[in-house]
């Protein structure tokens, strides 16, 4: 018993005619008769009394109850999928690395909810490698992550950069541990560092550079979260490395100031991340439209 056979059977019942059912289903009458005959052969019962009109038998009436349920379920599925396509319903699961969760996500979610109030959202935050990993494992529909130095070349994922930010070394504006505009790497290596734990890409970047110089990294304080990292740096307890976008306010206020380290000049890329083969449903396409409005110079493409 196939779905097509049940649909055809239901249509013959409602139209009370093999010919009219064939016209409604855009099939030939012999094709309809063949499907009904296959059903009768499988069930071992005649479903219609053949005549000028298709008169349903007792066995046919029993099958009709189930065929009506199947037809109703199919119609509901079509309606719900149409609602998703037309953004009348849906659910979106996104993740954002900590920097973007603070600086971009509130505005992005607000605009999305105002435009698509029927679509619910789950928003998760984490370190960039965690977000990328969860996109790859299908836990997230879309990821927003800041990548330091260069974009990944993972063939399973698509990275679309929508913003490039300078990554800056920072020290206290009032109790600076660095007073020169630029210092050497050897000078930098002697300074106490305030860094987030090892899930943070800024820390991973520095650990890689220290390893290249065969020098031990001097982490004075390990924290969880950029706000605490900034506060401790403001107090002069160490120096740190963050995206300029994260410290713009403090730089303007003078509570932090930047310095350069010779040979360490890098940028951070804010990227939309998704699986290469990912199908973009209505909710995901709507999210991209909002992102496009915020970053009009970018071209967010998807299949």
CATH 1.10.10.10 residue spans of the chain = 3-85
Token pair 């009219």 in the structure block, residue: 20
The pTM of the full predicted model, rounded to 2 decimals, is 0.66
pLDDT one-digit tens code per residue, 30-80: 999 999 999 999 999 999 987 777 889 999 999 999 998 888 888 778 767
Residue 12, classified by CB atoms within 10 Å of its CB into exposed (0-12), middle (13-18) or buried (19+), is: buried
* 86 pLDDT higher than 80: no
pLDDT one-digit tens code per residue, 148-203: 765 566 788 999 999 888 889 999 999 999 999 999 999 999 999 999 987 788 89
Kind and range of the H or E element at 164? strand 157-172
Joined tokens for residue 155: 């063939």
Give the integer Cα–Cα distance in Å for 123 and 270.
Answer: 17
pLDDT one-digit tens code per residue, 128-142: 989 999 999 999 999
Query: How confident is the model at residue 150, as a pLDDT?
Result: 59
Average pLDDT of the chain is: 90
Query: How confident is the model at residue 187, as a pLDDT?
Result: 96
* 301 pLDDT higher than 80: no
Domain 90-303: give its CATH architecture: 3-Layer(aba) Sandwich (3.40)
CATH 3.40.190.290 residue spans of the chain = 90-303
* 259 pLDDT higher than 80: yes
Cβ neighbours of residue 297 under 8 Å, at least 6 residues apart?
Answer: none
Comparison of pLDDT for 80 and 228, the residue scoring more: 228
Show the beta-strand stretches assigned E in the chain.
Answer: 48-49, 55-56, 91-97, 120-126, 142-148, 157-172, 182-183, 193-196, 219-223, 240-243, 256-261, 267-275
CATH topology classification for 3-85: Arc Repressor Mutant, subunit A (1.10.10)
């Amino acid at each position: 018993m196939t779905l097509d056979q049940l649909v055809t059977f239901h249509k013959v019942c409602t139209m009370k005619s093999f010919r009219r059912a064939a016209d409604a289903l855009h099939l030939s009458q012999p094709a309809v008769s063949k499907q009904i005959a296959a059903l009768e052969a499988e069930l071992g019962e005649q479903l219609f009394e053949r005549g000028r009109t298709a008169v349903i038998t007792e066995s046919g009436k029993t099958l009709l109850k189930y065929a009506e349920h199947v037809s109703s379920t199919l119609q509901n599925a079509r309606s719900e999928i149409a609602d998703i396509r037309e953004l009348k319903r849906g659910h979106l699961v996104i993740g954002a690395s900590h920097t973007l969760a603070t600086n971009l996500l509130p505005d992005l979610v607000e605009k999305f909810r105002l435009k698509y109030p029927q679509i619910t959202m789950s928003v998760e935050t984490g370190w960039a490698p965690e977000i990328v990993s969860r996109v790859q494992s299908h836990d997230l529909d879309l990821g927003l992550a800041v990548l330091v130095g260069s974009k990944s070349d993972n063939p399973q994922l698509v990275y679309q950069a929508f913003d490039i930010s300078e990554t800056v070394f920072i020290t206290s504006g009032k109790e600076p541990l660095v007073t020169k505009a630029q210092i050497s790497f050897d000078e930098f290596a002697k300074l106490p560092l305030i860094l987030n734990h090892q899930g943070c890409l800024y820390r991973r970047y520095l650990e890689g550079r220290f390893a290249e110089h065969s020098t031990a990294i001097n982490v004075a304080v390990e924290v969880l979260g950029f706000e605490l990292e900034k506060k401790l740096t403001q107090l002069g307890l160490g120096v740190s490395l963050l995206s300029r976008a994260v410290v713009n306010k403090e730089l303007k206020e003078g509570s932090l100031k930047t310095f350069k380290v010779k040979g360490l000049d890098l940028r951070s890329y804010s990227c939309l991340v998704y699986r290469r083969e990912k199908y973009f449903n209505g909710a995901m396409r709507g999210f991209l439209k909002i992102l496009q409005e915020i970053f009009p110079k970018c071209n967010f493409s998807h299949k």
